[in-house]
């Protein structure tokens, strides 16, 4: 006897609109932030616009596919997706490093960054596994330790690629999912302390990370070296004022901020669109987080709840870290601004994740 077809309702239009607006802003701002350096280095000011535009189109097609695909069907493919992710995470070591890090697999016209997939693979695995745990989640041995080992394994592979920021995101999302799933408070605080301890350790064993931490306290102590990037970011934000200098008119993107179309694109937004533009971006991310949490609360099963909260947490943590770094509120680290920073892998996997979140919203309890 065949299973009855699941009835789909309308998607969360506010969430969908927020994602589309962020993607549109991202494509425009990548072009604005990269046009000067792209023309100078490659003779084509629209180089990154073309790449980001193509990534956006592919990502949106993937998102619409995931919106129509019942999210429960992902369960049976989770182990296969985990295996592919692990293979890709190991594969990066076969290719030359870029700026001292091995994070990418070069493909024709595209560079795949497996760590962008890994952070969502951990969410898929935890949502599937925890659903069947029940009250065992309150046990450290059976409910907590297995997820620490799996997440730690993925975070360790990402860390080996010299990508502490995404490894941190993976561990933070793991803690959030465990907390939402019902882990005991005492275990939660022990885990939080463990993550902090590991974070401090990995900062101390790498001199450049320690330099970033000390530079965060006073970037003007070394304005031409470690403090340079943050100082230029703050100059961009300050130059923009309330209304900004105008779209496309940033001065800091002209080889003052290194690669302004990636991790520090929020600084260019602040300079060109001012406080108004920055406030709009923050409001859009707050709206996305609100609708994501709302979807998680109203999901019809535990799997949907954990999947929604995990996906929302990935976006929220990255947005918070990126904006905090650009505004000098925390040490400099390489976390892209979701949907806005240049990066095909990030945009593709983020949009696929949004497709899953929107599909969950179609099956929410009324």
The C-alpha atoms of residue 143 and residue 179 are separated, in whole angstroms, by 11
7 domain residue, yes or no: no
Per-residue pLDDT, 2: 44
Residue 346, domain member (yes or no): yes
Q: What is the pLDDT of residue 212?
A: 64
Q: How far is CA 293 from the centre of its chain?
A: 17
Give me the percent of the chain exceeding a pLDDT of 90.
56
Give the pLDDT confidence of 143-172 residue by residue, as tens digits: 788 898 999 999 999 988 888 889 989 988
Question: Per the structure, how many domains does the chain have?
Answer: 1
* Assigned domain for 1 exists: no
Q: How confident is the model at residue 1 (pLDDT cuts 50, 70, 90)?
A: very low
**Could you read off the pLDDT of 227-257 as tens digits, one per residue?**
888 888 899 999 999 999 999 899 998 878 8
pLDDT higher than 50, residue 309: yes
The per-residue pLDDT for 222 is: 77
225 has pLDDT over 90: no
Confidence at residue 5, expressed as pLDDT on a 0 to 100 scale: 58
Q: Is residue 54 part of a domain?
A: yes
Residue-level pLDDT at 330: 83
- pLDDT of 259-305, one tens digit each? 889 889 999 999 999 999 999 999 999 999 999 999 999 999 999 99
In a domain, 4, yes or no: no
* Alpha-carbon dihedral angle through residues 162, 165, 166, 168, given to the nearest 10 degrees: 110
Confidence of residue 95 (pLDDT cuts 50, 70, 90): confident
Q: Is 160 part of any domain?
A: yes
* Other CB atoms within 10 A of residue 37 CB: 20
Residue 364: the pLDDT is: 82
Task: Flag whether 5 is in a domain.
Answer: no
pLDDT tier for residue 206 given thresholds of 50, 70 and 90: low
List the single range of 84-93, 121-130, 214-223 with lowest mean pLDDT: 214-223
Write 104-111 long-range contacts (CB < 8 A, 24+). 109/51, 110/55, 110/344, 111/344, 111/345
CA dihedral 38, 40, 42, 43 (to 10 degrees): 100
Query: Of the ranges 36-40, 167-171, 208-212, 356-360, which is most confident?
Result: 356-360
- Please give the residue that has the higher pLDDT: either 6 or 257: 257
Domain of 179 in residue numbering reads as 13-362
Q: What is the mean pLDDT of the chain?
A: 88
Q: Which residues pair with residue 105 across a beta bridge?
A: 112
């Amino acid at each position: 006897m065949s299973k009855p077809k699941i009835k789909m309702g309308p998607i969360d239009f506010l969430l969908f609109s927020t994602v589309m607006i962020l993607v549109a802003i991202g494509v425009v701002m990548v072009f604005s932030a990269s046009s000067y350096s792209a023309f100078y280095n490659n003779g084509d000011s629209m180089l990154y616009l073309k790449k980001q535009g193509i990534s956006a189109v592919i990502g949106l097609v993937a998102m619409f596919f995931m919106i129509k695909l019942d999210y429960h069907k992902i369960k049976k493919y989770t182990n296969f997706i985990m295996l592919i992710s692990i293979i890709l995470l190991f594969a990066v070591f076969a290719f030359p490093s870029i700026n001292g890090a091995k994070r990418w697999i070069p493909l024709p016209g595209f560079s795949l960054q497996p760590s962008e997939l890994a952070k969502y693979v951990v969410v898929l695995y935890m949502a599937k596994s925890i659903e069947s745990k029940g009250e065992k989640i309150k046990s450290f041995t059976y409910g907590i330790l297995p997820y620490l080992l799996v997440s730690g394994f993925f975070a360790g592979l990402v860390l080996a690629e010299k990508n502490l920021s995404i490894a941190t995101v993976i561990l933070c999302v793991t803690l959030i999912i465990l907390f939402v799933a019902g882990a005991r408070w005492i275990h939660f605080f022990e885990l939080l302390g463990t993550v902090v301890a590991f974070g401090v350790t990995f900062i101390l064993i790498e001199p450049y990370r320690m330099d970033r931490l000390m530079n965060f306290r006073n970037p003007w102590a070394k304005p031409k070296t470690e403090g340079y990037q943050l100082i230029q970011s703050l100059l961009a934000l300050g130059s923009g004022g309330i209304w900004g200098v105008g779209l496309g008119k940033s001065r800091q993107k002209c080889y003052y901020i290194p690669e302004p179309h990636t991790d520090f694109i929020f600084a260019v937004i602040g300079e060109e669109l001012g406080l108004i533009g920055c406030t709009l971006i923050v409001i859009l991310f707050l709206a996305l987080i609100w609708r994501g949490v709302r979807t998680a609360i109203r999901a019809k099963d535990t799997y949907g709840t954990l999947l929604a909260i995990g996906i929302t947490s990935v976006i929220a943590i990255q947005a918070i870290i990126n904006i905090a770094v650009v505004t000098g509120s925390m040490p400099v680290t390489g976390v892209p601004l979701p949907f806005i920073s240049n990066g095909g892998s990030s945009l593709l996997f983020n949009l696929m994740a949004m497709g899953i979140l929107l599909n969950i919203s179609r099956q929410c309890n009324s």
